[in-house]
Amino acid sequence: MPSASAAAVALPRSTVSTKTCAAMIRSSIYPLILRNTDAHRMVCVFDPGNTRSAWHDEKGHAMTPNARLSYLFDPLCGWCYAAAPALKRVAEIHGDRLRLMPTGLFVEPRPVAAIADHASKNDSRIQNLTGQPFTEGYHQGVMRARGGIFSSMALTRALVALGQIDPVLEPRFLHAAQTARYVGGQDTSRADVVAGIALQVARLSHVGVDQAGFLARITDDPALEVETDRRIAEGQALMSTLGIRGVPQLIVTDDRGARAVDGQALYTGGDAVLAALNKPA
């Protein structure tokens, strides 16, 4: 697979122009971890061209007033963290149109040791290309933790549970959880850690959440389990319908059909993704 040149990757973030970053993005495709599902094979990947022309709007029409936005992701997908600044900006401007659609990519638990080396290489690529930080606390305290487990189940259930209170909490929680993991070095595969993050997000939004009760919900609530599975199935169905395999993806749906936002915009930041959404015909 092609990769960015060492010289380009070594440039300090402050010296990389938007055009340079875009060129680096277009030249690179980095798969992370694959997961087989009944419907299709999914991948967390850095692939700005991961769309099909049959449904992608090549004319680049701007959003119409009735447009809806669907964000396909997994809370532990490293490239979804790369797109976090873009998603945060979209949620701020178009929150009433935005729906988060988890895909279940990493819900099945596995030993973190099995993926630590591979993930570290991808984390380095993400940081070099996008400027998103990964601290030693994360590398050593999470990815090298003895007996650590890698699973996005608790995160996905927590996101769904908060969304039942208020959908606006979902992107806020996702952003907080990503920051807690990759910057704060918190193990967000652990349900107790996830419950604590959810409590903080709720408090900042002036929403009352009982931490013990919330922890019980995300670990042993049959109704929440069913709803989470339904949300995941919905995300997988959208991917299958559109013929796409990779996350993250930001999908615009309106009276012209469904189309993906230019993939490189997701990794270039909030202004880039807003410009892509409002690109004139």
- Residues 220 and 226: beta-carbon distance below 8 Å: no
pLDDT for the residue numbered 62: 64
262 pLDDT band (50/70/90 cuts)? confident
Sign of the Cα pseudo-torsion (161, 249, 187, 36, in order): positive
* Pair 209, 199: CB distance under 8 Å: yes
Q: Report pLDDT digits (tens) over 90-118.
A: 999 999 999 999 999 999 999 999 999 99
pLDDT tens for 118-161 read: 999 999 999 999 999 999 999 999 999 999 999 999 999 999 99
More confident residue, 4 or 87: 87
Measured in whole angstroms, how far is the alpha carbon of residue 272 from the centre of its chain?
17
Q: How far apart are CA 212 and CA 199, in angstroms?
A: 10
Domains of the chain: 30-276 (3.40.30.10)
User: CA–CA separation, 156 vs 224, rounded Å?
Assistant: 10
Q: Which residues lie closer than 8 Å to 280 by C-beta, 6 or more apart? A: 60, 62
What is the average pLDDT value for the chain, to the nearest integer? Answer: 83
Question: pLDDT at residue 16 above 90?
Answer: no
Rounded alpha-carbon distances, angstroms, from residue 229 to 71, 91, 126, 183: 17, 24, 29, 29
Sequence-distant (6+) residues with CB within 8 A of 91 are 98, 168, 171, 172
The residue type of 29 is I
Mean pLDDT of 28-46: 44
Global pTM reads 0.82
d(CA 109, CA 150): 6
Q: What percent of the chain has pLDDT over 90?
A: 70
